[in-house]
Chain A
Amino acid sequence: MLRKEDPRLVRGRGRFVDDVQLQGMLHLAILRAPMAHARIVSIDTAAAEAHPKVKAVVTGEALAEKGLAWMPTLSNDVQAVLATDKVRFQGQEVAFVVAEDHYSARDALELIDVEYDMLDPVVDARRALEPGSPVVRDDLDGKDDNHVFDWETGDRAATDAVFERADVVVSEDLVYPRVHPAPMETCGAVADFDSVEGRLTLWSTTQAPHAHRTLYAMVAGLPEHKIRVVAPDIGGGFGNKVPIYPGYVCAIVASLVVGRPVKWMEDRSENLVSTGFARDYIMRGEIAATRDGRILGIRTNVLADHGAFNAQAAPSKYPAGFFGVFTGSYDIEAAHAEVTAVYTNKAPGGVAYACSFRITEAVYLVERIVDCLAHELEMDPVALRSKNLIRPEQFPYTTRTGWVYDSGDYEPTLREALRISGYDELRKEQEERRARGELMGIGVSFFTEAVGAGPRKNMDILGLGMADGCELRVHPTGKAVVRLSVQTQGQGHETTFAQIVAEEIGIPPQDIDVLHGDTDNTPFGLGTYGSRSTPVSGAAAALVARKVRDKARIIASGMLEANVTDLEWTKGAFAVKGDPDRSVTIQEIALRAHGAGDLPDGIEGGLEAQVCYNPENLTYPHGAYVCVVDVDPDTAQVSVRRFVAVDDCGTRINPMIIEGQVHGGLADGVGMALMEMIPFDEEGNCLGGSFMDYLLPTALEVPDWETGHTVTPSPHHPIGAKGVGESATVGSPPAVVNAVVDALKPFGVRHADMPLTPSRVWDAMRGRATPSF
């Protein structure tokens, strides 16, 4: 089935936030800190205020008077909306201007004069906890260091014991560098406060409109029923649009102050320097095994750089997200991880870019360290993995860190990837090329994801349980509307949710409209991220359709004058068992539900229902990836020749859309492995703040993807479907790095850190350590 979203988008008729034009709308621009760490001595706004097109200039001090200078983050920390005392990262919001047009607002920013008193910044996370290090968060009562939290999982003693008795122990330092999700559409909002009704309407680039509404109610003191958040078409999110950014709050404040609609739309540099980054985990990985390749244990300690404010978007009880799944797809005896997070003078973030709450980092750790072990044991990396994979009869499988994998049949998935790639022939080809001095590498990654947060007993964001709603209304003529609590950003929900409901209720998907993003008109839920739409809201969609079908059955029993137990459901109609000529279609039932004539006792008119689905567990999709690279021995340039991805996300709702999701994620993986990084210099200057420096793959840097699949349904999901959107971003970086390291085997290279740019690969070939940041 082709996508219902496409007809408007191919005609240029999508409606993105920056397309919104309202009568009397003003434009907001933000003045940002030019350095990473400094005390604000004074701000002179007189010249900006005198600009003829400027309507307002607002500083942190002015916000502080309204109690709005700071806002809560999704990690129960606070973040400055506009800096009051100090700036804590380059690009931080210092003041804003509201003007008649975007160009004038930008002009006026140049007229604001800020005097700063420079302070030493904290840039290297490894030095953040040293005594005497500058304190980033001296705004917090009694805070005299840069420590955010310590967190651990697994059994330390048991893990140490297996490491004691292991034949082989391999350890490696692995850096997952800071990257950025960089959606093509940046973040922005249009705030429209109606002072007569006391009602705020906010169009915004949000992946979680309902959660945002609740947070605005908390921040701005407006009642929730007077706030309408509208997420229109979103030009990609990739986790970048989960947090609330100061710009949104500034737009709301501006509209409250000026009494007119106000638009804020950041530019690309602002997006890259100030909005949610991803990763920045410095990991020591260790693996213990027997000489014949039986993995006994994995342990790791992680230093997490969270930037200046802890604004990481993760369930409250999971400060390191779901990093606990770092034992991967392997049946091992013991595991332990500890994570320490620190503040530095950098933009906040951490959880973004299809990470499924830190599973990118977890999978990178395990899939790299297993390859390091294979290198040490001189074993084929596929053979080593095969020997240790969790077996199908072990599911549901409880890992050594307490995660209950729902289902998996790993070996066939791995075999399928080997078949498509022609793995054995690739190894032969590699041998021949090596003999000729060519550098060819083959990298394998086998991953298990954990998506669909989550059971409300232990998963919440700021106290909001991670369940999701779905509402279905069938109109009198048998057409239907489905309202979702989740929010597509290109993943095709308008199409696939119509398919889920169509399958259950027998109304063709063309007759089903899917609405999302408008908090006035959709049921409450937590939004789209962590590949949770299908596991949570998809389940709600199937169940709400079944609920409507149950009512339809009772109405049909009245129409057919038969007992409900005598009816059978086939393809959108109820028929009397053994008498298929006596039947009514769902459309006829819908008309009766709204029409003249009696309904069975106790049945109200109308044909609709709502469900709020609380998942009993996450879903655990898996995949086997094979990457083939060539490295130019003279320039150290890596080119990805082939990439084979076999994914298993259980029941597949729309294979075309899944394939597109996988392709996009694979491009992310190649980009992160080879090109992307947000680095900082010693003074805390962000060196990845534009597309000149933050390199994203174009059509020339990626191959034509080769995909395959197996199907292992989730036993606890109503239609057996698992999430998949982030699998490829999670699973592909280690495959690429494993391939590059494999290509460099003749040079004795065991590891090199991402991004594997020509200069880094060149250094690795010459035995020089790659820079660690």
Chain B
Amino acid sequence: MRLTTTVNGEEVTREVEGRLLLVHFLRDHLGLTGTHWGCDTSNCGTCVVWMDGEPVKSCTVLAAMAGGREVRTVEDLADGDRLDPVQQGFMECHGLQCGFCTPGMMMTARALLDRNPDPSEGEVREAISGQICRCTGYSTIVRSVRWAAEHECAEREEASS
């Protein structure tokens, strides 16, 4: 089937099988390999991307379902050379080790901060509870998201004053 979708702001059209999963479309057809595939039961969340602004597990979405919609992946998180505060936060607070869960975690974190700019530790933990990390034990991920929240709050205050 013919699939037309917008990925990271660019419209792409590809011939795909109806059963193709979005995660494989992104990785194998578009070469966007930042999104990972860590389980086969929709538990791990290493495949989290956005569809129309909502985080989704792309292993549990057919590529066909992205037709006519906007998909955003980790590759689009930075604005050119300027990292998103979430990316910066993960680096500053050592929120990653092997880096395999990181893209999905950051996509969820970005979506959380867009809805809730100042989440509590508990709210961050709740937001990433559909995702597994085997390296960090989560504390530094929570700190990374809080780092981004604090920096964005500070930036907004500076801009408004």
By a beta-carbon cutoff of 8 Å, the part of chain A in contact with chain B is 2-3, 5-16, 18-19, 21, 101-103, 182-186, 233-236, 238, 267-269, 489-492, 656-657, 659-668, 690-692, 696, 698-700, 702, 704-705
A168 to chain B, nearest CB (A): 38
B17 interface residue (CB < 8 Å to A): yes
Which residues from chain B contact A659 at a C-beta distance below 8 Å? 94, 140
Interface 1/0 per residue, B12-53 and A, CB below 8 Å: 000001011000100110011111111111011010000000
Interface of A is mostly: loop
Contact check: which of A12, A18, A692, A699 meets B41 at CB < 8 Å? A692
Given that A184-B36, A663-B137, A700-B125 are contacting pairs, would A9 and B44 also be in contact in the complex, using a CB cutoff of 8 Å?
A: no
B7 interface residue (CB < 8 Å to A): no
Q: Check B138–A702 contact: CB distance below 8 A.
A: yes
Which residues from chain A contact B91 at a C-beta distance below 8 Å? 2-3, 6-7, 10
Chain-A contact segment, one of B96-104, B112-120, B153-161: B96-104
Interface centre among A16, A183, A664, A702 (most CB of B within 10 A): A664
Please name the residue on chain A nearest to B73 by beta carbon. A12
Give the A-B pair count, Cβ closer than 8 A: 179
Cβ contacts A to B, 8 pairs, < 8 Å: A6-B99, A10-B87, A16-B100, A269-B40, A490-B99, A657-B94, A662-B137, A690-B41
Q: Check B94–A656 contact: CB distance below 8 A.
A: yes
Which residues from chain B contact A665 at a C-beta distance below 8 Å? 137
Which residues from chain A contact B94 at a C-beta distance below 8 Å? 2-3, 656-657, 659-660
Contact check: which of A101, A236, A268 meets B98 at CB < 8 Å? A236
Q: Check A10–B96 contact: CB distance below 8 A.
A: yes
Q: Check B98–A185 contact: CB distance below 8 A.
A: yes
Given that A10-B91, A700-B125 are contacting pairs, would A705 and B137 also be in contact in the complex, using a CB cutoff of 8 Å?
A: yes
Which residues from chain B contact A656 at a C-beta distance below 8 Å? 94
B10 interface residue (CB < 8 Å to A): no
Contact check: which of A21, A233, A660 meets B99 at CB < 8 Å? A233
Please name the residue on chain A nearest to B76 by beta carbon. A12
Contact check: which of A6, A184, A268, A705 meets B101 at CB < 8 Å? A184
A6 to chain B, nearest CB (A): 4
Given that A184-B38, A698-B128 are contacting pairs, would A705 and B33 also be in contact in the complex, using a CB cutoff of 8 Å?
A: no
Q: Check A19–B33 contact: CB distance below 8 A.
A: yes
Q: Tell me the complex Cα distance, A656–B93, Å.
A: 9
Q: Tell me the complex Cα distance, A238–B129, Å.
A: 22
Q: Tell me the complex Cα distance, A6–B89, Å.
A: 11
Given that A184-B132, A185-B36, A235-B36 are contacting pairs, would A699 and B141 also be in contact in the complex, using a CB cutoff of 8 Å?
A: yes
Q: Tell me the complex Cα distance, A235–B96, Å.
A: 11
Q: Tell me the complex Cα distance, A668–B138, Å.
A: 11
Q: Tell me the complex Cα distance, A696–B131, Å.
A: 10
Which residues from chain A contact B60 at a C-beta distance below 8 Å? none
Which residues from chain A contact B139 at a C-beta distance below 8 Å? 663, 702, 704-705
Q: Tell me the complex Cα distance, A184–B36, Å.
A: 9
Given that A492-B97, A664-B134 are contacting pairs, would A10 and B102 also be in contact in the complex, using a CB cutoff of 8 Å?
A: yes
Q: Tell me the complex Cα distance, A692–B40, Å.
A: 9
- Interface residues in B130-146 by Cβ distance below 8 A to A read 130-142
Contact check: which of B34, B130, B137 meets A11 at CB < 8 Å? B34
Q: Tell me the complex Cα distance, A19–B34, Å.
A: 9
Which 10 residue pairs are nearest across A and B when measured between Cβ atoms?
A12-B34, A490-B98, A235-B100, A9-B99, A663-B137, A490-B97, A667-B137, A691-B43, A12-B74, A19-B33
Please name the residue on chain A nearest to B103 by beta carbon. A12
Which residues from chain B contact A663 at a C-beta distance below 8 Å? 136-140
Please name the residue on chain A nearest to B46 by beta carbon. A184
Q: Check A18–B27 contact: CB distance below 8 A.
A: yes
Q: Tell me the complex Cα distance, A16–B36, Å.
A: 9
By a beta-carbon cutoff of 8 Å, the part of chain B in contact with chain A is 17, 19-20, 24, 27-28, 31-41, 43-44, 46, 73-75, 77-78, 83, 87, 90-92, 94, 96-103, 106, 121, 124-126, 128-142
Q: Tell me the complex Cα distance, A491–B96, Å.
A: 10
Please name the residue on chain A nearest to B101 by beta carbon. A184
Q: Check A18–B37 contact: CB distance below 8 A.
A: yes
Q: Check A13–B36 contact: CB distance below 8 A.
A: no
Contact check: which of B24, B73, B75, B134 meets A696 at CB < 8 Å? B134
Interface centre among B99, B101, B141 (most CB of A within 10 A): B99
Please name the residue on chain B nearest to A489 by beta carbon. B98
Which residues from chain B contact A15 at a C-beta distance below 8 Å? 33
Please name the residue on chain B nearest to A237 by beta carbon. B98
Q: Check B39–A268 contact: CB distance below 8 A.
A: yes
Please name the residue on chain A nearest to B93 by beta carbon. A656
B147 to chain A, nearest CB (A): 12
A672 to chain B, nearest CB (A): 13
A568 to chain B, nearest CB (A): 36
Given that A10-B106, A702-B137 are contacting pairs, would A268 and B100 also be in contact in the complex, using a CB cutoff of 8 Å?
A: no
Q: Check A10–B36 contact: CB distance below 8 A.
A: no
Q: Tell me the complex Cα distance, A243–B24, Å.
A: 28
Given that A667-B138, A705-B137 are contacting pairs, would A185 and B41 also be in contact in the complex, using a CB cutoff of 8 Å?
A: no
B9 to chain A, nearest CB (A): 15
Q: Check B92–A2 contact: CB distance below 8 A.
A: yes
Q: Check A182–B131 contact: CB distance below 8 A.
A: no
Which residues from chain B contact A690 at a C-beta distance below 8 Å? 39-41
Q: Tell me the complex Cα distance, A607–B106, Å.
A: 42
Contact check: which of B37, B96, B132 meets A9 at CB < 8 Å? B96
Q: Tell me the complex Cα distance, A68–B134, Å.
A: 34
Which residues from chain A contact B73 at a C-beta distance below 8 Å? 12
Please name the residue on chain B nearest to A13 by beta carbon. B34
Q: Tell me the complex Cα distance, A735–B19, Å.
A: 47
Given that A2-B92, A184-B101, A185-B100 are contacting pairs, would A11 and B133 also be in contact in the complex, using a CB cutoff of 8 Å?
A: no
Q: Other than the known A12-B77, A184-B44, what 16 A-B pairs have Cβ atoms closer than 8 Å?
A: A5-B99, A11-B78, A12-B75, A16-B36, A18-B33, A103-B20, A233-B98, A235-B38, A490-B97, A657-B94, A659-B140, A662-B137, A663-B136, A691-B43, A692-B43, A705-B139
Which residues from chain A contact B98 at a C-beta distance below 8 Å? 183-185, 233-236, 489-490
Please name the residue on chain B nearest to A182 by beta carbon. B134
Which residues from chain A contact B37 at a C-beta distance below 8 Å? 18
Q: Check A103–B44 contact: CB distance below 8 A.
A: no
Please name the residue on chain A nearest to B96 by beta carbon. A9
Contact check: which of A9, A11, A234, A666 meets B75 at CB < 8 Å? A11
Please name the residue on chain A nearest to B128 by beta carbon. A699
Please name the residue on chain B nearest to A643 by beta carbon. B137
Q: Check A11–B74 contact: CB distance below 8 A.
A: yes
Q: Tell me the complex Cα distance, A267–B36, Å.
A: 12
B62 to chain A, nearest CB (A): 13
Q: Tell me the complex Cα distance, A558–B77, Å.
A: 53
Which residues from chain A contact B138 at a C-beta distance below 8 Å? 663, 667, 698-699, 702
